[in-house]
Every structure is written in structure tokens, then in C-alpha cells.
Amino acid sequence: MMSLAALATISAATPALAQFSESYKFLEAVRKKDGEKVTEALADPASTVINTRDVTSGETALHIVTNRRDLTWMQFLISKGANVNARDAKGVTPLVSAVNANFVEGVELLVGKGARLDESNNAGETPLITAVHNRNIAVMRLLLKAGANPDRADNSGRTAKDYAKLGGGNLLTEIETNAKPKADAKAKSYGPKF
């Protein structure tokens, strides 16, 4: 039987990295752009590490690579099952991160992969509201043409349209020109058609 002192000595000899969780190692490999370690971590079909979250920020690997505007890594992680609608500790999704970074290609990718257009952060700010705040016409157009709701209010009660009015310039015109028309509730009919 091994003594407590012997166990303590063996534990102390273990390399520090080996004491970290698989999730931590995965996120560190993503941060360091270590493709070999990331691929190794994702090789196990039973692994759920792809959507693991940083314990302090709540960020997933997809948040990390979106924040650094790395389209190649975004495509790779999404192809491995990364959740495009994951929220960090502040309620920020990868789409909101891409919009915040004025990362048009990242926004296109995430929208194309099913990111929810009107998913708000903890302050109620949607990706479209963020694009209006940033005065980023290209991102506004992209979101509006994909179906983002310009009438969705944040926690203060203001919508993207309200912020566009406050922002001046052609922001409101962009919203009015590019927003998808709302379906007319009276036009809906139910039942068989003859």
C-alpha cells in the first residue's frame, strides 16, 4: 500500500499541463492556433469539447476565432459541430462578435450556417442594433436581407430603426430599403384550398 507522502510526491511530479482539463487544453490550443492539438482533441467521436466554454468569459472556441477574425478556423470549427448560437457570459453570440468586429465575411458565414439573426446579448442588443451603432452599412444590408428584424427592441426599448434615426445619415434609409417586408397577417389562410 502506498503512503500518502509517496502519492503527494507522484502528484507533484506530474507536469502542470497534465493537471488541466481537456476543455482547458482544447481552448488553449485554439488560442495558440495549434491545429494538431485541436484536431487531436476533436478526433474522439464522443468528445463534446467543441462547444466547451471558458470558465471566466463563457467563450467557446468559435467565439475565440471569430474575435480574431479568423475565417478559416471558423469554417473548421463549424464543420466539426461548433454551435453558431452559443452565448458567452454576457450573452454574446459569435454573430454579435463578428458584427462588433465589423467582420463582414464572418457575418456571412455565420448567417449562412444558421446563426439566429435576432438573438440578443444580455443588454438586449441584436446584431442589427450593433451594426447600426457601428454605422456598418454592409453588415446592416447583409443582416436585413437575411431577415433581421429592425423592430426588435433592446432592454432600453429602442429598436435598430430608433438608433438609425438617432444616428442620422442614411442609416434609416438603409433599413427601410433593405428590410424584408412583414407578412400580412390578413393574407394568411388556413385549411384546404379548392
Q: Which fold has domain 123-180?
A: 1.25.40
State the Cα–Cα distance between residues 194 and 191, nearest whole angstrom. 10
Largest CA distance in the chain: 85
Task: State pTM to two decimals.
Answer: 0.82
Whether 4 has a pLDDT exceeding 60, the answer reads no
Give the pLDDT confidence of 105-144 residue by residue, as tens digits.
Answer: 999 999 999 999 999 999 999 999 999 999 999 999 999 9
Q: 92 or 191: which carries more pLDDT confidence?
A: 92
pLDDT band for position 172 (cuts 50, 70, 90): very high
State the Cα–Cα distance between residues 139 and 143, nearest whole angstrom. 6
pLDDT band for position 185 (cuts 50, 70, 90): very low
21-116 CATH: 1.25.40.20
Q: What are phi and psi of 172, to 5 degrees?
A: -65, -40
State the Cα–Cα distance between residues 52 and 58, nearest whole angstrom. 9
In this structure, how many other beta carbons lie within 10 angstroms of the beta carbon of residue 151? 13
State the Cα–Cα distance between residues 184 and 123, nearest whole angstrom. 30
| Site of grid cell 432592454 | 155
Domains 21-116 and 123-180 share a fold: yes
Least Cα distance to 47 among 96, 80, 14, 69 occurs for 80
Whether 11 has a pLDDT exceeding 90, the answer reads no
Domain ranges of the chain: 21-116, 123-180
Mean pLDDT for all residues in the chain: 88
